[in-house]
Amino acid sequence: MDVTLERFLQYLRLERNLSTGTVDLYRRDLEQWAASMTAGTRQLDLASITANDIREWLYKRSVKGDSPGTLRHKVQAIRALYRYLMRRGEISVNPAAMVDLAKLPKPLPKFVREKTVDAVLDGEIDMDDFTQVRDRLIVMLFYETGIRLSELIGLQDVAVNVIKRELKVRGKRDKDRIIPFGEELAFWIDHYRALRVNVRPVCDNLLVTSKGKPLYKSLVYHVVHDVLADAGGTGKLSPHVLRHTFATVMLNRGAQLNSVKELLGHESFAATQVYTHVTLSELQHNYELAHPRALKKGG
């Protein structure tokens, strides 16, 4: 292996204290790249390599099937090598810095099927049991308002008005927003509050533990996961997935994108528009299930 590359890998291992596995990934990518850059020669001339040389190599790797994530890591490894050499004064230009990183495909948000949430919200529970009623209300709040986990935990009791059927949450960057809700949720909030009197809350939050203290993230996560799993839910079952489900259901039912954006508290349309891809994907799925000729092969 080239002496300079070996010196760089030792730097990663001894001075940067990177794990053996991480250093091995750098070694694999840099050896592969160096072998291509030295084709027909005996020595790796790092100073003569250009950004176009790196782009050409990346194109060849993509043709061979390397994923965008793999290509990104290769560029990052080369960039790191040149940064190291520049700090040592051995190189004056980092050609890899002029090479754009491959764009990673954005995964679509996960959501829960409506029938799964309906199974939770329509299931029988002990209406006199504080914990069961509170857990039902937690799921209902996520599903019917789309609020974030942090917003639910910090939701103040005085911020929830069952007469006007609206609640005020403090979102990111301390921005407040008003979210409307329906009669069913208003009923459950009233019923929960009636039971909460016996718990004697020691805080101003709407939702509390059985000892009257504020909820915490792991408790809420386990509540959501367990009740959805018991109803037949699969995959990732979290508060954030319920938030995704809220947005997906709203758009599937005809809500305007701008309205969903405001309800979710998004700063820009870009964050909300991803749900349009989910609804289109769901539409395609339903079409293929329902239309008699959707899956009929030609010929």
Q: At residue 167, what are phi and psi to the nearest 5 degrees?
A: -135, 155
Q: List Cβ neighbours of 75 (8 Å cut-off, separation of 6 or more).
A: 54, 58, 96, 99, 101, 102
Q: List Cβ neighbours of 113 (8 Å cut-off, separation of 6 or more).
A: 233
CB 207 within 8 A of CB 167: no
DSSP 3-state assignment of 216? coil
Conformation bin of residue 265: beta by default, left when phi > 0, alpha when psi is -120 to 50: left
- Report CA 3 to chain centroid distance, whole Å: 41
Active site residues: 148, 172, 240, 243, 266, 275
- Report CA 261 to chain centroid distance, whole Å: 17
Q: Please say whether the dihedral angle defined by the alpha carbons of residues 253, 258, 262 and 266, taken in this order, is positive or negative.
A: positive
In sequence order, what E strands does the chain have? 160-161, 166-170, 176-180
In the sheet with 160-161, reading across from the earlier edge strand, the strands are 160-161, 166-170, 176-180
DSSP 3-state assignment of 189? helix
Computed on alpha carbons and rounded to an integer, the radius of gyration of the chain in Å comes to 27
Q: 259 vs 179, 265, 266, 273, CA distance in Å? A: 11, 10, 10, 12
